[in-house]
Every structure is written in C-alpha cells, then in structure tokens.
Amino acid sequence: MAVPPLQTQIERRRRRRLRLIPVIGYAIAVLGLAYFFEQRPSTTIVFVRHADTDATVAEDPPLSEAGRQRAEVLADFLQDVDVISSVDAIFVGHNKRTEQTAAALAGRLNVGIEARDQDNVASYIRYVMRHHVGEIVLVVADGDMIPPMIDEIHGSKRLPPFDPKDFNELYIVTSPWYGKVKTLRLHYGASNGFTAKDPSAESGG
C-alpha cells in the first residue's frame, strides 16, 4: 500500500486537531460553569413574626412579659443556627415589637439591628438579598408581611395565615444562586421547643 505523501499526513493531523478544538472548548466551558455555580453561596433568610405584645398599649405596643420570654427562646435557638457562625445581619421594621423581638439575639451576637420600612416588600427584600449574599439574615416582621416577603424570594406560596394570637411562627428560606428556593416552617415556644413542619401541610398540599 502506498504511503500518503508527508504533506497529506500533516494536513490530516491538522484537521483532526481542528475537530478537537470545539470539544475541548465545550469541556472547559462546562467545567468552568460547574465551578462557578459551586462557588456561588446560598443566602438564608429566617423570617420571624414579632413576639407577644402588650395588649394594654394601643399605639406601637412593646412586647409583653411573655413576648420578652419568647424573644429569649428565639435567641437560644438562632445563636447556634450555623456550626461556623450564626446570624450575620438582623432586619426589623420601624416599631418596638419587631425591634424588641430581635434585641435578645442581637445582644448575644453583638450584631447591629437595621430598621427599614417594610411596607415596600419588593424594595425591602431586594436590599437584603443584594447586601447579604451568602449570609444568614434574620428578618422580624408583622405576620401579614411575611408571606409576601417569602413570595418575593420565590419561596413557598402555600403558607397558612397567622392566627392573631399565634406568635411562634418561624420560616427559614434558603435561596441558592441557581436552583430551587426551599422553605421550612418551624414552631417554637418556651415549653415545647422547636418542631419542623411542611408549610403546605395545613393548606391543602
């Protein structure tokens, strides 16, 4: 069998190398994207309704004695929520009930409390997510504000409504940079501790 001329062999090798370039480029792109997504941290926001309030005060009521005790129980749980650190930032509304609910935890962790207007939910959540990427954030709010806040992060839309006397609700929402947002509902209290519940369990699936 005749041996192809040297020039022909060189040309064939060149064409094979050219065919490999897109394959190698694709592999590098896939590995690069995998590394990029792996390095993007998840942001976790803990949403808590303010604790029990003093019913004898009509305007901007503070916490009652039961509420102050509940705030301490909340601090007991959240101060060790992460094995490496704990809550990195705390947000509340412009009222005593949310500020005082967060105060016990803030004092233990030496973390400042940032009060912002919670009425504009989209702006509020956008600010939190933009300035605390990859962190654990506590947001204390009124009960009727929590579902739209969670919805803004694309968390569960099947949250049961808060009962007027129910102050032991806590939601942990984990928002990855890419992927599905997960929502965990908890109940807590001074006597019964914490129990996990599926947010959809009381709302038809």
Q: What pLDDT, on a 0 to 100 scale, did the predictor assign at position 13?
A: 63
This prediction has a pTM of 0.73
What pLDDT sits at residue 50? 94
Q: Say whether both 91 and 76 belong to one domain.
A: yes
The residue range of the domain holding 127 is 40-197
Q: Is residue 144 part of a domain?
A: yes
- Contact (Cβ atoms closer than 8 angstroms) between residue 182 and residue 171: no
* Residue 204 domain flag: no
Q: Determine, yes or no, domain membership for 202.
A: no
Q: Are residues 133 and 175 in the same domain?
A: yes
Tell me, what CATH number does 142's domain have?
Answer: 3.40.50.1240
- Taking a C-beta distance cutoff of 8 angstroms, is the pair 188, 171 a contact? no
CB 127, CB 152: distance < 8 Å: no
Tell me, what's the pLDDT at 129?
Answer: 93
Beta strands in the chain (DSSP E): 43-49, 89-92, 113-115, 136-141, 169-175, 182-187, 195-197
Q: How far apart are CA 27 and CA 90, in angstroms?
A: 42
Per-residue pLDDT tens listing for the chain (205 residues): 555 565 665 666 666 655 655 544 544 544 444 444 444 578 999 999 999 999 899 899 999 999 999 999 999 888 876 655 679 999 999 999 999 999 999 999 999 999 999 999 999 999 999 999 989 999 999 999 999 999 999 888 888 888 887 888 889 999 887 778 889 888 876 444 434 444 444 433 3
How confident is the model at residue 4, as a pLDDT?
55
pLDDT at 14: 61
Strand pairing class (182-187; 136-141):
unpaired
